[in-house]
Amino acid sequence: MPFFIIFVIIPLIEVALFAEIGGKIGAAYTLVLCVMTAAAGGIILRYQGIRTIFDVRTALDRGQMPVQTLFDGLCLTVAGVLLITPGFFTDALGFALVIPPIRAWLRHCLIRRLDLRVQEEPDILEGDFERLDDDGRNN
């Protein structure tokens, strides 16, 4: 299903948006707008990417595991891919991932989903063991 969405649904949305926007403002302005959003996204992404790297280093220097910052870095990487991809729908998704409160909401949803999954499927093994040496006798 994800491949169907990525390779069929999203391109259809992009084509429809290009046609709609191109019909309203013209083809040349549509292309210029598409290039400008990619450039603006790249500039924003560069700034936030450098900030994320700095935050990871700071957390590691303090001896902390920067899980939140690494998640933000992953979101910014996905945002970069979406912003480089031509189209208005992917640009909107990319710009959404650049916004910190949206990343915080996604992180919260992911944590909540993982917590539920862990609670539903506990893997607990109970039992006794006896240590044997190489020839099979008890120690």
Q: pLDDT (tens digit, 9 = 90+) per residue, 62-95?
A: 988 898 899 998 999 899 889 888 899 999 999 9
Length of the chain: 139
Q: Is residue 11 part of a domain?
A: yes
Q: Is residue 124 part of a domain?
A: no
Half-sphere exposure of residue 8, counting CA atoms within 13 Å on the CB side? 5
Q: Is residue 139 part of a domain?
A: no
More confident position, 86 or 138: 86
For residue 124, what pLDDT band results from cuts at 50, 70 and 90?
low
Question: What does the alpha-carbon distance between residue 76 and residue 49 come to, in Å, rounded to a whole number?
Answer: 7
At residue 137, the pLDDT reads: 64
* Average of per-residue pLDDT values in the chain: 86
Could you tell me the residue range of the domain that residue 16 belongs to? 2-119
Listing DSSP states for 1-45 in one string gives -HHHIIIIIHHHHHHHHHHHHHHHH-HHHHHHHHHHHHHHHHHHH
Name residues whose C-beta falls within 8 Å of residue 110's C-beta, 6 or more positions apart in sequence.
71
Listing DSSP states for 84-132 in one string gives HSSSHHHHHHHHHHHSHHHHHHHHHHHHHHHHHHHHHS----------B
pLDDT at residue 122 above 70?
no
Q: Is residue 126 part of a domain?
A: no
For residue 112, what pLDDT band results from cuts at 50, 70 and 90?
confident
At residue 89, the pLDDT reads: 95
Q: Is residue 128 part of a domain?
A: no
Q: Is residue 136 part of a domain?
A: no
Q: Is residue 17 part of a domain?
A: yes
Q: Is residue 16 part of a domain?
A: yes
At residue 131, the pLDDT reads: 77
Task: Give me the mean pLDDT over the 31-60 stretch.
Answer: 88
Domains of the chain: total: 1
At residue 30, the pLDDT reads: 93
The pTM assigned to this predicted structure is 0.73
